[in-house]
Amino acid sequence: MPKWIAKPFARPYVAGETFDEALVQVKTINDHGFSATIDILGEHVTNIDKARSITNQYCDLYRQIDINQLDCNISIKPTHVGLFISLAEAMANIASILESAKNYNNFLRLDMENSLYTDQTFELFKHCKSTYKNVGVVIQSYLHRSLEDAKQLSAIDFNARICKGIYQEAETIAFQGSEEIKENFMTLARALSAKGAYAGYATHDQDLIDQLLAWIESENIPPDKFEFQVLYGVPMAGRLEELRNQGYKIRVYVPFGPDWFDYSLRRLKENPDIVGYVIKNMFKNE
């Protein structure tokens, strides 16, 4: 699909290509009573200068968030800031981003990519955590290993986003069925809660949200120990407002940047109905 054709369909999922566009969307999200996490789109950077340029952009993002007094933190993909080049390059660049997070008393999340980088991402996380407490990571519920990872990482102030996982992985290391993945998601939620960790439940699956709510209510899970997380632009049929009105914290993951194309194709594959919405809006009568 050419970019000029894809752009109208991508627009609902991407908060613009520039800092200014993205920060306007974060402000709107905050005004609706939701928190935000911002992410510059891109991954698997092979050029050191580009990895360092992205690093500098993330450092400046913390400054912009602070200047604009936004309820927003940052999530980064390690291969976007050097892990595809080397662990040492990623370590150095993430250390710079972490210093900016410290300076502005903000939070940094290390996103999780495909399984080739899982161990290195956890190594980066542990290194970050040794110097600054406001750091989190991602646990993917489709990986067989995730429960053991969660148990090993669940120390004081552990903060994890639980998501299902989007990368193609072999059945030897990952659950393939949707029900198995959801069941493991719930297992991870229970395990993190038992360790006193903070969890972000990142899902658009309404049935899974229902399961989480039933468990939260039955076990009286403190509301300051979790939040619900969703992707910017994914239709939720009023569920976010409903959860907000019930007193639950909601965080919207806001991606932006010039590298929007591949990300948008993944979102379109997950939610092909958006094509119909866009076409209908393009040709509706004035």
Catalytic residue positions?
Answer: 111, 161
Residues near 271 by beta carbon (within 8 Å), at least 6 away in sequence: 234, 235
The residues near 51 (Cβ < 8 Å, ≥ 6 apart) are 45, 80, 81, 82, 85, 89, 90, 93
Coil, strand, or helix at residue 252?
Answer: strand
Taking the C-alpha atoms of residue 135 and residue 157, their distance in angstroms, rounded to an integer, is 9
Sorted by sequence, the CB contacts under 8 Å of residue 74 that are 6+ apart come out as: 37, 38, 39, 58, 61, 62, 65, 97, 101, 106, 107, 108, 109
